[in-house]
Amino acid sequence: MGCGVTKSNQFHKNSGKAVTSIKAAILIQRWYRQYVARTEMRRKYTWHIFQSIEYSGEQAQIKLYNFLGYLMDNFTPTSNERNLISHIFRDNDVCRDTEWERFFCYKKIEVPEIYSGPHLTFPLTVEQAVGLVEAFRNKKQLHSRYVLQLLLETLKQIRMLPNINRISTCQSKEITICGDLHGQLEDLLLIFYKNDMPSMEKPYVFNGDFVDRGSDSIEILLILFSFLLVYPSEVHLNRGNHEDHIVNLRYGFTKEVLTKYKMHGKRILKLLQEIFSWLPLATVIDQKVLVLHGGISDTTDLSVLARVDRHSYVSALRPPKKRNQSSATSSIDIDMEGDILSHIKLTQRRTSLTYPKPLARDIFQNRSLQDFSGLIKGNMVDDVEIHRKRPSISIQGIIKPENETTQAASSESVNSENVNDEWKQILDLLWSDPMNQNGCVPNEVRGGGCYWGPDVTEDFLNRHNLQLIIRSHECKQDGYEFCHNRKVLTLFSASNYYDVGSNRGAYVKLGPDLVPYLIQYQASSMIRELTVRQSVGRTERSALKVLREQLFAHKSDLACAFKMVDRKNTGYVNVHNWASAVESVMHLGLPWRMLRYQLVTSKTSDGMINYHEWFNDLAIKGTNTDHINQSLLETLYRHRSTLETIFRIVDTDNSGFITMEDFRQTWKLLSVYLKMEITDDAISDLAVTIDRNQDGSIDIDEFMEAFRLTDKKSRLERGRSMFMGTATDLTKLEGDLNI
Amino acid sequence: MAPKKKEEPKPAAAAPAPKPPEPERPKTPEFDPATVTLEFTPEQIEDFKDSFQLFDRTPANEMKITYAQCGDLIRALGQNPTNTEIMNVLGKPKPEDMQTKMLDFDQFLPMLQHICKAKDRGTYEDFVEGLRVFDKEGNGTVMGAELRHVLATLGEKMNEGEVEQLMQNQEDANGCINYEAFVKYIMAT
SS3 A197: coil
Contacts of A496 (CB under 8 A, 6+ apart): A184, A502, A503, A522, A523, A524, A527
Top pLDDT among A634 and A360 is at: A634
Tell me how far apart the alpha carbons of residues A274 and A543 are, in angstroms, rounded to a whole number: 36
pLDDT at res. A629: 66
CB A35 to CB B60 under 8 A?
no
A585, A592 contact by CB (below 8 A): no
B window 153-182, beta carbon within 8 A of A: 154-158, 162, 165-166, 168-169
pLDDT at res. A207: 97
Q: What pTM value is reported for the model?
A: 0.68
Q: Count other C-beta atoms under 10 Å from residue B25's C-beta.
A: 7
Top pLDDT among A665 and A305 is at: A305
pLDDT at position A94 over 70 = no
SS3 B178: strand
Q: In 3D, which of B175, B184, B44, B174 has the Cα closest to residue B112?
A: B44
Residue A692 banded pLDDT, cuts 50, 70, 90: low
Read off φ and ψ for residue B118, nearest 5 degrees.
-60, 140
* Average pLDDT score over residue span A616-622: 67
| A197-211, A345-359, A411-425, A665-679: least confidently modelled range | A345-359
The rounded percent of chain A whose pLDDT value lies above 90 is 32
Contacts of A515 (CB under 8 A, 6+ apart): none
A529-586 pLDDT tens trace: 566 667 777 778 888 888 887 888 788 888 889 999 888 888 888 888 999 999 998 8
A157, A164 contact by CB (below 8 A): no
Tell me how far apart the alpha carbons of residues B163 and B182 are, in angstroms, rounded to a whole number: 13
A362-388 pLDDT tens trace: 222 222 323 343 333 333 332 233 332
pLDDT at res. A27: 82
Contacts of A138 (CB under 8 A, 6+ apart): none
Tell me how far apart the alpha carbons of residues A581 and A586 are, in angstroms, rounded to a whole number: 9
* Average pLDDT score over residue span A179-201: 94
CB A362 to CB B151 under 8 A?
no
Q: Which member of B20, B131, B156 has the closest CB to residue A26?
A: B156
Max avg pLDDT among A27-41, A197-211, A349-363: A197-211
Tell me how far apart the alpha carbons of residues A183 and A726 are, in angstroms, rounded to a whole number: 12
CB B80 to CB A34 under 8 A?
yes
Tell me how far apart the alpha carbons of residues A602 and A600 are, in angstroms, rounded to a whole number: 6
Annotated catalytic residue, options A143, A182, A236, A242:
A242
B132, A27 contact by CB (below 8 A): no
In sequence order, the β-bridge partners of residue A178 are A206, A507
A406-438 in b/e burial notation, b at 16+ Cβ within 10 A?
eebbeebeeebeebbebbbbbbbbbbbbbbeee
pLDDT at res. A164: 96
B92-143 pLDDT tens trace: 888 888 888 889 999 999 999 988 887 666 677 877 887 887 888 888 888 8
| A235-244, A274-283, A320-329: least confidently modelled range | A320-329
pLDDT at res. B78: 85
Q: In 3D, which of A175, A208, A201 has the Cα closest to residue A285?
A: A175
Helical (H) or strand (E) element with A353: helix A340-353
pLDDT at res. A355: 40
CA dihedral B87, B93, B95, B99 (to 10 degrees): -90
What is the radius of gyration, based on Cα positions, of chain B? 21
Top pLDDT among B63 and A704 is at: B63
Top pLDDT among B41 and A226 is at: A226
pLDDT at position A391 over 50 = no
pLDDT at res. B79: 87
* Average pLDDT score over residue span A285-309: 94
Mutate to test the interface with A, among B41, B53, B54, B75 (most CBs of A within 10 A): B75
A590 CB near a chain B CB, below 8 Å? no
Contact residues on chain A for B51, CB-CB shorter than 8 A: 41, 591, 594
* Average pLDDT score over residue span A313-340: 44
Q: In 3D, which of A619, A644, A620 has the Cα closest to residue A702?
A: A644
A412-441 pLDDT tens trace: 444 566 777 888 899 999 999 998 888 999
pLDDT at position A120 over 50 = yes
The rounded percent of chain A whose pLDDT value lies above 70 is 69
A323 CB near a chain B CB, below 8 Å? no
Top pLDDT among A453 and B78 is at: A453
Max avg pLDDT among A17-21, A306-310, A318-322, A698-702: A306-310
User: How far apart are the CA of B34 and the nearest CA of chain A, in angstroms?
Assistant: 26
Residue A359 banded pLDDT, cuts 50, 70, 90: very low
pLDDT at res. A326: 32
CB A576 to CB B46 under 8 A?
yes
Q: Which member of A22, A576, A591 has the closest CB to residue B53?
A: A591
B184, B125 contact by CB (below 8 A): no
* Average pLDDT score over residue span A636-653: 74
Q: Which member of B75, B82, B133 has the closest CB to residue A26?
A: B82
Mutate to test the interface with A, among B41, B83, B156, B163 (most CBs of A within 10 A): B156
pLDDT at position A633 over 80 = no
Read off φ and ψ for residue A643, nearest 5 degrees.
-60, -50
pLDDT at res. A118: 92
A482-527 pLDDT tens trace: 999 999 999 999 998 887 778 899 999 999 999 999 999 988 755 5
Q: Count other C-beta atoms under 10 Å from residue A382's C-beta.
A: 7
Tell me how far apart the alpha carbons of residues A185 and A183 are, in angstroms, rounded to a whole number: 6
A273, A92 contact by CB (below 8 A): yes
A362 CB near a chain B CB, below 8 Å? yes
CB A594 to CB B127 under 8 A?
no
pLDDT at res. B164: 86
User: How far apart are the CA of A675 and the nearest CA of chain B, in angstroms?
Assistant: 34
**End-to-end CA gap in chain A:** 96
Q: What is the mean pLDDT of chain A?
A: 74
Contact residues on chain A for B82, CB-CB shorter than 8 A: 26, 29-30
Amino acid making up residue B172: D
CA dihedral B102, B104, B107, B111 (to 10 degrees): 80
CB A28 to CB B127 under 8 A?
yes
Q: What is the mean pLDDT of chain B?
A: 79
Residue A129 banded pLDDT, cuts 50, 70, 90: very high
Active site residue A242: yes
pLDDT at res. A707: 58
A728, A714 contact by CB (below 8 A): yes
Residue A99 banded pLDDT, cuts 50, 70, 90: low
User: How do strand B141-143 and strand B176-178 relate by DSSP bridges?
Assistant: antiparallel
